[in-house]
């Protein structure tokens, strides 16, 4: 083993220690865990915003419907997670609690950007606590704000967040992003967005693709309500 490699080994034992070249190795490992997760796609459309994700059910005896990749956070907010889904479940439940507390306290729906900031503050905290690991999960939050604007946010294991017109997290991220960059238009409708997302998953997954393992949801500008896609909706998008 080279001396440099031996020296670097000690810096990945905790997320609280910087390596000599200014890296937090445990946080970088968490980001790699996300890249190995099943892909999730978010697209902002002129009439709403949608989320589509691959559930990748490996055991044939598992009831497909019992596996969730798309979650309702509030009436006007949905989320999907990629990476260690147990981490994602904890953060989604925290987001649901924040949304409920905000509604009770202020008698209004929570703003998605505020919610995303709160979740990212929690993620960031776990990059500097001794004895705790970072969350190995990225989340996409989709919402319709009070001005009826569709919005899409991505949160990273680092605690950073960004707003996107369209994005993807998980396996095949680079290939899917190239397709989105080429095919996405701001005038795209929800129907067209769903076709783009599902057909992109089919292209990337190849023979592994099965429409029954795709999960999806959307929110429209018209009613601002979280709605899950049915299997019929997903099959129709493939035609």
Per residue in 162-171, pLDDT tens? 999 999 999 9
Assign 133 to helix, strand or coil. Answer: coil
Give the start-to-end residue ranges of the domains of the chain.
36-237
CB 122 within 8 A of CB 116: no
Q: How confident is the model at residue 9 (pLDDT cuts 50, 70, 90)?
A: low
pTM, whole model, 2 decimals?
0.92
Q: How confident is the model at residue 11 (pLDDT cuts 50, 70, 90)?
A: low
Per residue in 196-227, pLDDT tens? 999 999 999 998 898 988 999 999 999 999 99
Query: How confident is the model at residue 8, as a pLDDT?
Result: 54
Q: Which residues of 102-113 are buried (b: 16+ CB within 10 A; e: fewer)?
A: beeeeeebbbbe
* CATH code 3.30.230.10 for 36-237: no
Query: How confident is the model at residue 12, as a pLDDT?
Result: 74
Q: Measured between alpha carbons, how far is 165 from 143 in angstroms, rounded to an integer?
A: 12
Per residue in 71-126, pLDDT tens? 999 999 999 999 999 999 999 999 999 999 999 999 999 999 999 999 999 999 99
Q: Which of 78, 87, 69 is nearest to 33 (CA)?
A: 87
Q: Measured between alpha carbons, how far is 230 from 29 in angstroms, rounded to an integer?
A: 35
């Amino acid at each position: 083993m080279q001396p440099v490699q031996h020296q670097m080994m000690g810096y990945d034992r905790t997320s609280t220690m910087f390596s000599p070249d200014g890296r937090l190795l445990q946080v970088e490992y968490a980001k790699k865990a996300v890249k190995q997760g099943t892909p999730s796609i978010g697209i902002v459309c002129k009439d709403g915003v949608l989320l589509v994700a691959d559930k990748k059910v490996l055991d044939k005896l598992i009831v497909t419907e019992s596996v969730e990749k798309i979650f309702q956070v509030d009436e006007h907010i949905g989320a999907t997670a990629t990476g260690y889904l147990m981490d994602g479940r904890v953060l989604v439940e925290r987001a649901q609690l924040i949304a409920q507390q905000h509604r009770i306290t202020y008698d209004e729906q929570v703003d998605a950007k505020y919610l995303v900031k709160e979740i990212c503050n929690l993620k960031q905290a776990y990059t500097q606590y001794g004895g705790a690991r970072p969350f190995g999960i990225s989340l996409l939050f989709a919402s319709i704000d009070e001005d009826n604007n569709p919005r899409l946010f991505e949160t990273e294991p680092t605690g950073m967040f960004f707003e996107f017109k369209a994005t993807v997290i998980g396996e095949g991220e680079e290939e899917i992003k190239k397709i989105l960059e080429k095919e996405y238009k701001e005038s795209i409708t929800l129907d067209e967005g769903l076709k783009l997302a599902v057909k992109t998953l089919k292209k990337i997954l190849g023979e592994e693709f099965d429409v029954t393992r795709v999960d999806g949801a959307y929110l429209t500008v018209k009613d601002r309500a979280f709605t899950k896609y049915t299997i019929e909706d997903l099959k129709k998008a493939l035609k």
